[in-house]
């Protein structure tokens, strides 16, 4: 089927030549937002439910439903583990959110997260061969406040229907309590992709960036801008990967995290931030520009830019500086501006710039690996195994300053990742069943290919209709007009 090309190279060519790099970057952001809105309107969302069992005559309804299905109900009643064999539970993920921190848009009301949660389900199926359901829930309590216990209870109640749970877009500090409680309370993996997923792919990118820059992780000076769910988890995983906590400093909106931050210590809900106060920033930097002098690495996941990170900060960094600016939809500094200031390697969370450090290369393979061995949880060791798997895959293909990460179109990546995660789950003693690495790899690759073949067939037969090219043309025009005006 003919493709509608909105690739990076084509996007760079469709905007006026007289636009500056900054104007083109703004136009791309506006274009993608406009096209996303109209395309979602065209399709009415992007997920539907399809049976995977056949109908070979009308009496098969009596097999799939009553009276035949009674044998399934009583079988599972007598042995709950059979729910993984007799239903789709073994390949089904709940994507759960209260929509209190949706990308860079903040609290979007419970229903406002549906676009992102459906997107997560879409990527799981296409990239990992995993089925997923978007579940946006209301976390307000009787006092009109977002209550983490509401989310915890919701997931506990839904647990019997799913093989894993992907938490998404839950604001801090609630996200910390929700994840840490559910990881222990549930007998299936509970994964917070904003935290663990972002941590996993960021560590993968950092591993390869430091290889390209010829620097050792235990020697580099690291500055982290932002102390939300993502960066606090990234910091924890980087430290587990071998970074020196004495060479790391983390900054939130009020300044540096250190043992003098009584405001953080006093609020027990922010215990993850306090752990970093105790472990990092022994110099007690209070201003980020101080910490940036002589730094080797900046990892920013704070708030959308484009000038949240200053060029002068980057100019003060060490030679061959590594700059990750991963806020969406607009990075803290545009890559061209970071390069102008002397950055050697620049990564963002966006696919329309080189070096996309994005969860999409992580969670489909990670969850697939965990599901295939029916893991009871996803440990930090499993997340690090995925990070090294991603990094090694990219390295085998060749890494350089503009390519430190694999891309979503490298299908084998997800099978490699699933296999490495599954093997780590077995090693950690959290897997219910034992498979070989080859079994996980081959099953994952087969499921991915099947998911894509089904989607290709639906597009070919026009059950998934091709959008009108005018959607793209209108989106380009609106973006160009908005930048000019």
Catalytic residues: 65, 120
In terms of Cα–Cα distance, which of 119, 106, 137, 79 is closest to 408? 119
Candidates 99, 108, 167; CA nearest to 132 is: 167
The DSSP bridge pattern shows strands 248-252 and 222-225 to be parallel
Around Cβ 468, how many Cβ atoms within 10 Å? 12
How far is it, in rounded angstroms, from Cα 437 to Cα 440? 5
Other C-beta atoms lying within 10 Å of the C-beta of residue 403: 16
Measured CA to CA in angstroms, residue 230 lies from 53, 217, 384 at distances of: 39, 20, 15
Q: What is the DSSP string of 67-95?
A: TTTHHHHHHHHH-GGGHHHHSGGGGEEEE
Two tokens, residue 386: 């995925």
Bond before 23 cis per omega within 30 degrees: no
Q: Tell me the CB-side half-sphere exposure of residue 267, using CA atoms within 13 A.
A: 13
- Give the separation between CA 207 and CA 204, rounded to whole angstroms: 5
């Amino acid at each position: 089927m003919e493709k509608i090309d909105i690739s990076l190279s084509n996007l760079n060519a469709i905007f006026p030549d007289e636009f500056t790099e900054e104007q083109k970057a703004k136009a791309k952001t506006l274009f993608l937002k406009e096209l996303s809105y109209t395309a979602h309107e065209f399709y009415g969302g992007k997920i539907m439910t399809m049976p995977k069992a056949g109908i070979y005559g009308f009496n098969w309804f009596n097999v799939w439903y009553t009276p035949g299905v009674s044998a399934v109900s009583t079988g599972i009643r007598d042995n709950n583990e059979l729910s993984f064999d007799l239903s789709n539970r073994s390949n089904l993920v709940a994507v759960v959110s209260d929509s209190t921190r949706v990308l860079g848009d903040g609290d979007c009301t419970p229903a406002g997260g549906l676009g992102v949660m459906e997107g997560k389900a879409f990527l799981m199926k296409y990239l990992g061969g995993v089925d997923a359901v978007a579940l946006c829930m209301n976390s307000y309590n009787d006092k009109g406040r977002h209550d983490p216990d509401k989310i915890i209870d919701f997931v506990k109640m839904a647990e019997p229907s799913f093989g894993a749970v992907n938490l998404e877009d839950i604001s801090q500090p609630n996200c910390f309590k929700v994840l840490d409680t559910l990881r222990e309370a549930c007998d299936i993996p509970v994964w917070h992709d904003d935290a663990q997923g972002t941590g996993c792919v960021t560590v993968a990118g950092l591993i390869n960036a430091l290889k390209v820059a010829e620097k050792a992780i235990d020697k580099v000076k690291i500055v982290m801008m932002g102390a939300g769910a993502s960066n606090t988890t990234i910091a924890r995983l980087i430290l587990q990967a071998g970074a020196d906590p004495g060479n790391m400093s983390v900054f939130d909106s009020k300044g540096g995290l250190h043992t003098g931050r009584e405001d953080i210590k006093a609020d027990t809900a922010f215990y993850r931030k306090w752990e970093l106060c105790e472990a990092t920033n022994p110099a007690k930097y209070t201003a980020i520009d101080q910490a940036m002098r002589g730094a080797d690495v900046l990892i920013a996941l704070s708030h959308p830019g484009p000038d949240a990170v200053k060029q002068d900060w980057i100019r003060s960094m060490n030679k061959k500086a590594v700059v990750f600016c991963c806020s969406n939809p607009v990075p803290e500094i545009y890559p061209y501006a970071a390069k102008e200031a002397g950055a050697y390697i620049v990564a963002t969370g966006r696919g329309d710039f080189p070096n996309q450090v994005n969860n999409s290369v992580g969670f489909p393979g990670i969850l697939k690996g965990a599901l295939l061995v029916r893991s009871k949880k996803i440990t930090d060791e499993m997340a690090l195994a995925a990070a090294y798997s991603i990094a090694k895959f990219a390295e085998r293909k060749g890494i350089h300053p503009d390519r430190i990460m694999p891309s979503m179109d490298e299908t084998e990546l997800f099978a490699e990742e699933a296999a490495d995660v599954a093997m780590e789950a077995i090693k950690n003693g959290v897997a219910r069943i034992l498979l070989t690495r080859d079994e996980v790899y081959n099953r994952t690759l087969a499921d991915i290919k099947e998911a894509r073949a089904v989607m290709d067939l639906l597009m070919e037969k026009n059950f998934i209709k091709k959008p009108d090219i005018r959607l793209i043309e209108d989106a380009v025009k609106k973006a160009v007009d908005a930048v000019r005006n």
